A and B are shown apart, each in its own frame.
Chain A
Amino acid sequence: MQQFLQQLWNGLAIGSVYALVAVGYTLVFGVLKFINFAHGSVLTVGAYIALYSVLRNWLPFPLAFGLSMSLSGVFSYLTEMYAYRPLREKGAPKLNLLITSIGVSLLVENSIVVFVSPDFHPFPRVLPSAPITMAGMRIPPVDLLLVAVGLVLMCSLSYFVNRTLAGLTIKAVALDRDAAALMGINTSKTISLTFFLAGIMASAAGVLIGMRFSVNPYLGGFFGLKSFAAAVVGGIGSVPGAYLGGYLIGMLETFGAAYISSNYKDAIAFVLLVFVLLYKPSGLLGKGTQEKV
């Protein structure tokens, strides 16, 4: 029982990371209908910004965290502005957007390897490392932060998307970009906003995951991909779906590792992905679409 609770907690912690990143995929897919392979890179960039701000003693940790989130948001916005928007305006096929996003992620990853360092950096200690014992579970403080930050950000995002005018424009553009434009929504601005929000969420995940494990150039590629699986499992385009998918994959991974075999931990997300796509291609909470003939 104790072990079960412990695993439940671990799953929740890692699931928060997936959920935070997955929601970015879902938002961007909603408005542009393409998988932004560079979304994981935003996570890496965020982790490095926080790492260096703290490492060089530029800023205290909470400020560094905030700075990382806002700069990553801007970075995400810039990738859209300079990489995807020109293609979109040319009316390029969607495949080109996807390939370009692969190019962006390649550039970010390789630039970090070349200009920063290819090494794994442990995050400086900003929180006590001794685990807190609670109900028989041993919980590292960073996990508490992870779950709490995750919850706060996810609730805020849901509130923003569902209850504010700017957020509702995202939903409108996702439903039908042309119709939204006809209704007077500035779709370009909405798309920029979407990328900015996605960047903020990913960066928070990046900083926290960097604290929990270590910061390295491949952080985003690795967590990004699994988070994408989470977004698809939950139903791409659906914000609650992304959260559900994230926590689900986090849980399955930790329980799979604990009770089946830890060797296949990294494959679990994809096995789940394949099964979900086979039985419900639109994902758990997604709505099906059919091409109009």
Chain B
Amino acid sequence: MLFEVENLTIKFGGLTAVDDVTMNVDEGEIVGLIGPNGAGKTTVFNLVTGVYTPTSGQIRFRGQNLVGLKPNQIAKLGVVRTFQNIRLFKTLTVYENVRTAGHLRVPYRLPDAFLHTPRFDVCEQETHEDALRLLDMVGLLSRKDEIASSLPYGLQRRLEIARALATRPKLLLLDEPAAGMNPQECVDLIEFIRDVKRDFDTTILIIEHHMDVIMNICERMYVLNFGKLLAHGTPAEIQVNPKVIEAYLGEAQTDAED
């Protein structure tokens, strides 16, 4: 098993935001994490990536315990995320965003940086080319010198994913990548996520509200409600699960109305 979460719980004061959640993701899967607003989905991501420390429970990635590690250490192990409210390096260019994130795969050290040694040249050339290749893949190459925050919303999301990919994650956590997208953009996104999985040989755990997106690309999904695991199964199973319909799809319909 690539990634396992066991009895994960976090309490904020009196509120149990994530309550005894157990889930797992196997190598090469695309797994969905859904649930109504405030169900604790993003909190699960924050726990997995070390932003919060769980009150109890275990998180294992390739058998290694992630609890207690710092966010950067977890990223280094290959668990990398995007953010619900997009956190780019806003005033840097598109290219610089991706290039900066490529640093994990650059082995040279401070003296090389001071003196720009031959080793520096080789590594820099590689990351430069890699950044361009990535930008080409996500379709941002022509806009590489634009300031990240000046991109349209949809492209900012793409850039954030490209930045995460620059670290070559083994497990990519996408937090509502389709938020704010129109149906056509959603279709593109589905295509894009499939490409990412294929080209980067990565496993994906995705939080999403857009049912069409999640039902389309996920092989399995977990449903959270009030911090608790409500159901788990294939899209077909989830769609007919009465508990899910009651808790989630009911609300999704009201969502669709506004």
- Footprint of B on A, CB under 8 Å? 293
Contact = CB atoms under 8 A, between A and B. Distances in A.
4 contacts: A293-B42, A293-B46, A293-B51, A293-B83
Nearest to A291: B51
Contacts of B42: 293
B123 to A, nearest CB: 31
A293 B42 CA distance: 9
B49 to A, nearest CB: 9
A293 B51 CA distance: 8
A293 B83 CA distance: 8
A231 B31 CA distance: 49
Q: Which 4 A-B pairs have the closest CB atoms?
A: A293-B51, A293-B46, A293-B83, A293-B42
Interface in B30-49: 42, 46
Interface in B7-48: 42, 46
Nearest to B46: A293
A255 B42 CA distance: 51
A29 B42 CA distance: 30
Interface residues of B, number: 4
A95 to B, nearest CB: 13
A293 B46 CA distance: 8
A44 B161 CA distance: 53
Nearest to B45: A293
Contacts of B51: 293
Nearest to B175: A293
Contacts of A293: 42, 46, 51, 83
Nearest to A292: B85
Nearest to B87: A293
A54 B165 CA distance: 70
Interface in B77-98: 83
A293 B50 CA distance: 11
A194 to B, nearest CB: 29
A93 to B, nearest CB: 10
B91 to A, nearest CB: 10
A92 to B, nearest CB: 13
Contacts of B83: 293
Interface string B147-158: 000000000000
A293 B82 CA distance: 11
A291 to B, nearest CB: 9
Interface string B217-253: 0000000000000000000000000000000000000
A218 to B, nearest CB: 37
A293 B43 CA distance: 9
A88 B42 CA distance: 31
A194 B46 CA distance: 36
B41 to A, nearest CB: 13
B127 to A, nearest CB: 27
A292 to B, nearest CB: 9
A61 to B, nearest CB: 52
A40 to B, nearest CB: 32
Contacts of B46: 293
A293 B85 CA distance: 8
B48 to A, nearest CB: 12
A8 to B, nearest CB: 39
A288 to B, nearest CB: 12
B197 to A, nearest CB: 25
A293 B44 CA distance: 12
Nearest to B71: A293
A282 to B, nearest CB: 16
A155 to B, nearest CB: 32
B82 to A, nearest CB: 12
A6 B73 CA distance: 55
A96 to B, nearest CB: 14
Nearest to B84: A293
